[in-house]
Amino acid sequence: MKLTDSYARLKARRPELEAAEAEIALSEAIADLIVDARVRTGLTQAELARRAGTSQARISELERGEANPTVDTLARIAGALGGLLDLGAFLSLVGSANITNSGTFVAVPAQMSFFTSAVTEGAATAASSVAVTQEEGFVLNTPGEVTLAANSELALAA
């Protein structure tokens, strides 16, 4: 059976493949952001890994789009890249509507659930927006800018 026909049949049998495809598309978009920022800084993967406190293999994996970073890892990479990681573009991937006001609620599509589950215990939380919207997502606490840091500025909605 041809590839396209075979995969179409698989998708009909396993509807969860649709969400998996969306998640992979997101991985690849994140990968592009990291590669772009790293190249602009002139860092090697190994140097970025050292600065971010992770392994070169992990950076390579993320740059190939083979995995999604946790919030904590992405925050450390962003810090290591000296602000060149385009977090506005990143948040547009997760469905940010307005990232300039304190308390803005950022809805998180289903395929981003791995981010919410990855936020470390003890992260600041602000659930008021969630109570109104009945959605799952992040609440931005810092007006005027978005800094991706699991334990402070970007809070996980309970």
Q: Which helix (H) or strand (E) holds 28?
A: helix 17-41
- Kindly state the number of chain residues that form the binding site for other proteins, as judged by CB under 8 A: 18
Burial of 104 (0-12, 13-18, 19+ CB in 10 A): buried
Residue 60 binds to other proteins (criterion: CB under 8 A)? no
Binding piece for other proteins, criterion CB under 8 A, among 16-24, 35-43, 87-95, 97-105: 16-24
Length of the chain, in residues: 158
Task: Provide the minimum distance between the beta carbon of 140 and other proteins in the complex, in angstroms, as a whole number.
Answer: 28
Residue 113 binds to other proteins (criterion: CB under 8 A)? no
Residue 131 binds to other proteins (criterion: CB under 8 A)? no
Residues 11-40 as b or e (16 or more Cβ within 10 Å = b): eeeeeeeeeeeebeebbeebbebbbebbee
Among the listed residues 67, 107, 118, 124, the single contact to other proteins using CB under 8 A = 67
Residue 117 binds to other proteins (criterion: CB under 8 A)? no
Residue 29 binds to other proteins (criterion: CB under 8 A)? no
CA separation for the pair 47, 131 (Å, rounded):
43
Which residues contact other proteins by CB under 8 A?
A: 1-3, 6-7, 9-10, 14, 16-17, 19-21, 23-24, 61, 66-67
